[in-house]
Every structure is written in structure tokens, then in C-alpha cells.
């Protein structure tokens, strides 16, 4: 959620820090700040609002070769200059930037206040700066030792970077539940909460694990545990480059990432489909045919769009493999004391691989002996490392807060998982070949939907005045409707509700009137007549209808029709979802919304 950038080297730190913050803007934030050491002093500049407002305040030259920076998403205290990071101790010696939530912050602040410390912000982070300063005053031998001692008093999650004005050649970083990555340059080192801030400078990175610290200097880094045990962390090379985070002629990242979906799906399929045996190869699962046959149930765990992708995946598994499957919000999983079945395959879904609720669900499963695989888009992420096996999405970097290409690649990956599970059971070779061909055709089908952009934009314009909208679907169309409502809510701020079509007459039908458009997902499948009946019920009560379909509807039945091509029925929801992405996008643009950075939201949710 929040963004962290740190630098130590030979260059002027502030341009590096601010450029890094700019690349992390997509994560969501409400204030920004930097701190550098200049002539033995920590110089801090902060601003509530966007990074550009911070940039506007940095008019006075402050050359320095070391510094830390932050974009804050408020958890403790309102967005303001005072609550923005970095935070200092009372003497201005220690500066700290922090992602996460300190759960015992109230107690720590009270203890510091009783000791005579004057706290100047409402944040949990400020307490960490004072704790570190106290440990140094008490004789801690190094900054790393002081940070370690302070963190032993802290309960909660953190990704943090610490700067000491008396040690202007080193940074100390630590991680527990919130990502921290080191970037290795030539005679310089970088720190960030996301590789997006690093790839402009280096592709060699080190991912810290939970409970791990690092001391970073221009030419070296040293890692250790919270218990002061040295660890060995070898750099890895990420396949992302700076151009992945550029608009490339598109008006915004959401539009760019929707346009990249055909290519992203091709990457997800590459080398994974087997026409000869009509199956899929997912070597990252680490499961042979015997282990796959032993799976008696599949449960998908994710948050937001990842959860809805899991629902689509559950439908695919039940249809193709005939194994009971369902999806559940990862945020609720560990709190209900779940029964963990050793014969169930759990699938943890996260675009970033750092979603805290999903990571906590994985840890709960591992603690109880569950078999869990990951479906993530970031190699080396926390969920990927915790699971140890799974499916890499190959969607490429996703910058816009609203997930499009990653969500699509999730469902494509689950279709391959369902095909694989089906073919080791009773799915016939002929049916397998049909699904393989259907998967091969997906990039072209998605390209066709994207080519209908102008028509969908006109539909959006006609309904841009709506204050509320229904999204309706049955069975295959139900998760599509839920994802469509999610997209509309998060980027347009229009209130949207998703319902199973059959539930409409059990209460929600009371809300239908001329000002309540209904978006009805109508796949050309065995439930077509049922879905047509739903539309008739809405029209009989004066409700406008937008049908999203690949079927031939009776003329005049719906007020607007968004058409997609026919394909294999099991895979049609993937293409229908792309059409709803475009509808939500154009409604949001028509309303003048910032589609890449919707209010109150963040790309990678690393707090509860």
C-alpha cells in the first residue's frame, strides 16, 4: 500500500528518491516525504497529497548521497504534513519510514509519553523512531543493534528503513509482513517496497524474508534475523525493465494493461498446453499424476478480484474435473478456525504476492498441514516463497490499482489447472482437445472485445448518469457479474451490486426502476432461456438493461447489447469479464475519475 524508497551511494539522493516515489504512486497514498543527511543534519520535507506537491516543495538544493522516502496510505491519523513520513526522534537524529501497522502503538506511545517524550504526530511509526533513539542512548553498539532491540518491543507488521545522521553511510531495513527489496547497483544500493522503484536502476535484487534485517551500504549489504543470526541472501535477477512502467502512448495504465491482455494470455499459455495428450503442463505445482488424483477438493483463496477469479476457477474445476471446489475470501479464512483437509488442494491467489490477508491464510494452512500452492504474478514475493510451488501468472507488471490483465491470467491459469485435474481423471481426450483449442483461441477473442471499444464507450456514455447499477448472472455468469460490479465501484465510485439472477425476485427486484440500470451477463449456454427470463422481469418493471452476451438475443429485448464472440462455454466467462472491464473503464472516464489511482484504495494491500 504505502511506498518506500531508500538510497545510499555517490549520486544526489533526492532525484533518485523522488523518481522512485513517482514509480510507486500506483500503490495508493495520501501524503509523501523524504529525509536526507546534509552537513550532519537530517533534512525532512513532507507534503500531504501527491508526489508532485512534494516535488514542488523541494526547491532548495539539499545535496546528499543517502536518503529515505515514503508515500503514506493513512492508518493512524489523518492525511497531513504532520502525519506524513519520515518520522524523527526528539533530537532529529533518527528518521524512519514504515509500511504496515504497529498493533501495540497505543501502549508504546503511552509509555514514551510517560517517559517525557513529546510525540508530534498521531502515527504508530513515530514511536519506532523514539524507541531506536532510546536504544542508542542506552548503549546499543550499532544502528542495526538498536533497530533490532526496538523491534523486539513492537507487535504488528512492518517494512521499514532507518536513517541515522551520525552514520551517513548506511541504512538499516527490516521486514515483517510488509515487503522490502534491496536493489544492487554499481557502487550504490537501493531499497524499496516494490521492484517498480528499482528497475530503472538495477535488475539485481534481494528479497527480505519476514523477521529479517539488513544493513545496507553503498558497496555491500549484510542480512540477519531478529535474533542476530546471520543469513545468506543471494541476489536474483528480475525480468522487469523500466519501460514496463511507462504508458507507451496510452492515456493511462488501466487502458494500457487491458490492451496487453491478448499478449499476456499468450505468455500464460506458452509451453503449457499439450495437444498430444489434450492436457496442460504446470510444472511449478510440484505434483505428479498420483498426487493430482489424490486431490478430493479444491479451495481458492483470494481478496477482491483475486477472489472472484477463484470463483471462476472453482466453476472450471467442478465442470472439467468433477471435483468439489469453492472459493473463499482469504481475509476471512484464518479467523473462522477453518477445518484443514489434507485431501484438499488450496490455491492462494495474489497479483502482488504480498497481500497480507492471503499470506496469513497461507501461513495458517501451512501451520495446520494443508497443501497450498500459489498463483502469483511476482517472482520472489512473500506468497510465492511461503507456498514454495504454484503457478506464475506471466501477466507482466500491473500498475493500475484495478486489476485487469492479472485477473484475466488468473482465470486462464485456473482453466489449465482444471484441465490438468480433469485429464488425470475422467475428462475425455476429445473434451480435453476442445478445451485446449478454446484456450488457444482466447487471445484472438479478447482482441475482438478490445476492438469493440468504441461501441462499449457509447453504451457507457448513455448510462453515465446512473447513481446505482445491478450486475446479474447465473452459474458461469455469477462471478463475472461480481467482478463487473467490483470494477465499476472501485474506479467510477458508482454504487453497484451483484446478484445471482435467480435471487432477483427474492428481494432486490424491489429496487428496479427507470433509474436503476441492470447489467445482465448472458452466456450462450444451457441457461440462456433463464437469463432471458430475468431480462423480461426487469423490463416489465421499467428497468434499463445492458446485456453482455455471446448469444443471439431477441430484437429489442435489451436497451443496450455488448457482444462478444462464441467459444467454448466453460471459457466464455473469461471473455465476458474483459467486456465488463471496458464498460467500467469508460463509465469512469466519462465521470472524470482517475482510473489508475481510485480514491481510498491501494494496489498491494499489505495491512489488515
Contact 216, 66 (CB under 8 A): no
Contact 450, 261 (CB under 8 A): yes
Label residue 209 exposed, middle or buried (CB < 10 Å: 0-12, 13-18, 19+).
Answer: middle
Strand segments (E) across 218-315: 220-225, 230-231, 236-237, 273-274, 279-280, 297-302
Q: Is the domain of 153 the same as that of 98?
A: yes
pLDDT at 124 over 60: yes
Q: Is the domain of 211 the same as that of 262?
A: no
**Is 232 domain-assigned?**
yes
pLDDT at 402 over 70: yes
| pLDDT, average across residues 164-170 | 95
**Is 575 domain-assigned?**
yes
pLDDT-derived band at 603 (thresholds 50, 70, 90) equals low
What grid cell was written down for 170?
548506511
Q: Is the domain of 434 the same as that of 460?
A: no
pLDDT-derived band at 381 (thresholds 50, 70, 90) equals confident
Total Cβ atoms within 10 A of residue 50: 18
Q: Is the domain of 49 the same as that of 138?
A: yes
| pLDDT at 142 (0 to 100) | 94
Q: Is the domain of 262 the same as that of 134?
A: no
Q: Is the domain of 315 the same as that of 204?
A: no
| pLDDT, average across residues 291-314 | 96
| pLDDT at 77 (0 to 100) | 74
Q: How far is CA 262 from the centre of its chain?
A: 20
Q: Is the domain of 34 the same as that of 168?
A: yes
Q: What angle do CA 47, 27, 251 make, to 5 degrees?
A: 95
pLDDT at 555 over 70: yes
Which pLDDT tens digit goes with each residue over 25-69? 766 678 889 999 999 999 999 988 888 888 889 988 788 999 999
Mean pLDDT of the chain: 92
| pLDDT at 504 (0 to 100) | 86
Q: What is the DSSP string of 184-207?
A: E-SS-EEEESSGGGTTTT-SEEEE
Q: Is the domain of 368 the same as that of 488?
A: no
Among candidate residues 211, 245, 279, the one where a domain is terminated: 245
The pTM assigned to this predicted structure is 0.80
Which pLDDT tens digit goes with each residue over 416-430? 999 999 999 999 999
pLDDT at 121 over 60: yes
Q: Give the N- to C-terminal CA distance of the chain in Å, as an integer.
A: 11
Give the span between the Cα atoms of 84 and 75, in whole angstroms. 11
Q: What angle do CA 479, 483, 488 make, to 5 degrees?
A: 150
- The H or E element that residue 329 is part of is strand 325-329
The answer for residues whose C-beta is within 8 angstroms of residue 28's C-beta and 6 or more apart is: 1, 73, 401, 597, 600, 601, 602, 603
The DSSP letter of residue 208 is: P
Q: Which residues are catalytic?
A: 2, 603
The DSSP letter of residue 524 is: S
Percent of the chain beyond pLDDT 90? 75
**Is 483 domain-assigned?**
yes
Q: Is the domain of 55 the same as that of 111?
A: yes
| pLDDT at 348 (0 to 100) | 97
**Is 607 domain-assigned?**
no
CATH number at residue 405: 3.40.50.10490
Domain assignment of residue 8, given as a range: 3-245
Among candidate residues 205, 230, 245, the one where a domain is terminated: 245
| pLDDT, average across residues 127-136 | 95
Q: Is the domain of 233 the same as that of 349?
A: no
CATH number at residue 41: 3.60.20.10
| pLDDT, average across residues 511-540 | 94
pLDDT at 607 over 80: no
| pLDDT at 604 (0 to 100) | 64
What is the number of structural domains in the chain? 3
Range with the poorest average pLDDT among 45-59, 263-277, 563-577 = 45-59
Nearest Cα to Cα of residue 582 among 555, 545, 552, 546:
546
pLDDT at 1 over 60: no
Which pLDDT tens digit goes with each residue over 94-118? 999 998 888 898 999 999 999 999 9
Q: Give me the numbers of helices (H) and strands (E) for the chain, helices first please.
A: 18, 27
Which pLDDT tens digit goes with each residue over 455-483? 999 999 999 999 999 999 999 999 999 99
| pLDDT at 28 (0 to 100) | 63
Which pLDDT tens digit goes with each residue over 445-454? 999 999 999 9
Computed on alpha carbons and rounded to an integer, the radius of gyration of the chain in Å comes to 25
Q: Is the domain of 395 the same as that of 495?
A: no
**Is 604 domain-assigned?**
no
Q: Is the domain of 206 the same as that of 336?
A: no
**Is 403 domain-assigned?**
yes
Between 2 and 472, name the one with better pLDDT: 472
Among candidate residues 213, 245, 277, the one where a domain is terminated: 245
Per 3-state DSSP, the chain is made up of helix, strand and coil in percentages (nearest 5) of 40, 25, 40
Give the span between the Cα atoms of 263 and 267, in whole angstroms. 6
pLDDT-derived band at 530 (thresholds 50, 70, 90) equals very high
Per DSSP, helices labelled H in 143-185 are: 143-151
Range with the poorest average pLDDT among 78-82, 276-280, 362-366, 519-523 = 78-82
pLDDT at 179 over 90: no
**Is 587 domain-assigned?**
yes
Say what angle helices 572-590 and 453-462 make with each other, to 10 degrees. Answer: 50
pLDDT at 242 over 80: no
**Is 583 domain-assigned?**
yes
| pLDDT, average across residues 591-595 | 94
Positive or negative: CA dihedral 436, 437, 439, 443: positive
| pLDDT at 602 (0 to 100) | 66
Amino acid at each position: 500500500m504505502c511506498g518506500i524508497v531508500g538510497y545510499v551511494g555517490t549520486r544526489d539522493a533526492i532525484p533518485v528518491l523522488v523518481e522512485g516515489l513517482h514509480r510507486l504512486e500506483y500503490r495508493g497514498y495520501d501524503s509523501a516525504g523524504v529525509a536526507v543527511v546534509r552537513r550532519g543534519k537530517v533534512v525532512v520535507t513532507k507534503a500531504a497529497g501527491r508526489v508532485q506537491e512534494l516535488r514542488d516543495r523541494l526547491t532548495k538544493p539539499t545535496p546528499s548521497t543517502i536518503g529515505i522516502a515514503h508515500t503514506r496510505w493513512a492508518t493512524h491519523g489523518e492525511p497531513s504534513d504532520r502525519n506524513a513520513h519520515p518520522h524523527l526522534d526528539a533530537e532529529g537524529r533518527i528518521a524512519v519510514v514504515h509500511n504496515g501497522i504497529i498493533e501495540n502503538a497505543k501502549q508504546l506511545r503511552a509509555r514514551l509519553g510517560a517517559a517525557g517524550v513529546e510525540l508530534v504526530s498521531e502515527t504508530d511509526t513515530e514511536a519506532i523512531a523514539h524507541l531506536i533513539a532510546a536504544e542508542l542512548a542506552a548503549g546499543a553498539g550499532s544502528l542495526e543493534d538498536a533497530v533490532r532491540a526496538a523491534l523486539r518491543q513492537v507487535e504488528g507488521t512492518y517494512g521499514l528503513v532507518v536513517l541515522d545522521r551520525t552514520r551517513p553511510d548506511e541504512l538499516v531495513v527490516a521486514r515483517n509482513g510488509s515487503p522490502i527489496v534491496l536493489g544492487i547497483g554499481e557502487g550504490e544500493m537501493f531499497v524499496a517496497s516494490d521492484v517498480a522503484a528499482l528497475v530503472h536502476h538495477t535488475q539485481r535484487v534481494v528479497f527480505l524474508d519476514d523477521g529479517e534485517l539488513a544493513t545496507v551500504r553503498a558497496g555491500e549489504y549484510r542480512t540477519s534475523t531478529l535474533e542476530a543470526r546471520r543469513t545468506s541472501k543471494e541476489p536474483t535477477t528480475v525480468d522487469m525493465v523500466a519501460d514496463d512502467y511507462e504508458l507507451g502512448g496510452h492515456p493511462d495504465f488501466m487502458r494500457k494493461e487491458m490492451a496487453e491482455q491478448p499478449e499476456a494470455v499468450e505468455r500464460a499459455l506458452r509451453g503449457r498446453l499439450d495437444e498430444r495428450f489434450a492436457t496442460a503442463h504446470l510444472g511449478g505445482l510440484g505434483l505428479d499424476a498420483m498426487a493430482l488424483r489424490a486431490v478430493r477438493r479444491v479451495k481458492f483463496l483470494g481478496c477482491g478480484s483475486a477472489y472472484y477469479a477463484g470463483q471462476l476457477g472453482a466453476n472450471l474445476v467442478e465442470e472439467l474435473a468433477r471435483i468439489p471446489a469453492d472459493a473463499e475470501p482469504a481475509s476471512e479464512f484464518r479467523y473462522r478456525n477453518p477445518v484443514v483437509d489434507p485431501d484438499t488442494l488450496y490455491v492462494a491467489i495474489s497479483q502482488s504476492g504480498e497481500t497480507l490477508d492471503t499470506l496469513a491464510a497461507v501461513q495458517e494452512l501451512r501451520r495446520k498441514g494443508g497443501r497450498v500452492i500459489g498463483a502469483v504474478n511476482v517472482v520472489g514475493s512473500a506468497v510465492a516463497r511461503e507456498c514454495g510451488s504454484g503457478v506464475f501468472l506471466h501477466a507482466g507488471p500491473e500498475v493500475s490499482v484495478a486489476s485487469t490483465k492479472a485477473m484475466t491470467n488468473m482465470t486462464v491459469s485456473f482453466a489449465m489447472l482444471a484441465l490438468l485435474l480433469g485429464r488425470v481423471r475422467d475428462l475425455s481426450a476429445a473434451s480435453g482437445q476442445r478445451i485446449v483449442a478454446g484456450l488457444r483461441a482466447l487471445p484472438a477473442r479478447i482482441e475482438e472485445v478490445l476492438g469493440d471499444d468504441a461501441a462499449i464507450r457509447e453504451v457507457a456514455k448513455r448510462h453515465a448518469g446512473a447513481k446505482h447499477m445491478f450486475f446479474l448472472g447465473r452459474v458461469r455468469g455469477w462471478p463475472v457479474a461480481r467482478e463487473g460490479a467490483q470494477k465499476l465501484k472501485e474506479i467510477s465510485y458508482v454504487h453497484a451490486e451483484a446478484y445471482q439472477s435467480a435471487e432477483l425476485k427474492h428481494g432486490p427486484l424491489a429496487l428496479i426502476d427507470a433509474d436503476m440500470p441492470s447489467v445482465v451477463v448472458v452466456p450462450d449456454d444451457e441457461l440462456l432461456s433463464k437469463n432471458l427470463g430475468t431480462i423480461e422481469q426487469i423490463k416489465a418493471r421499467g428497468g434499463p438493461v445492458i446485456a453482455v452476451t455471446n448469444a443471439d438475443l431477441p430484437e429489442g429485448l435489451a436497451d443496450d447489447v455488448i457482444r462478444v464472440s462464441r467459444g467454448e462455454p466453460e471459457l466464455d466467462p473469461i471473455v465476458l469479464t474483459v467486456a465488463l472491464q471496458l464498460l467500467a473503464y469508460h463509465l469512469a472516464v466519462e465521470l472524470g475519475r482517475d482510473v489508475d489511482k481510485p480514491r481510498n484504495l491501494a494496489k498491494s494491500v499489505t495491512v489488515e
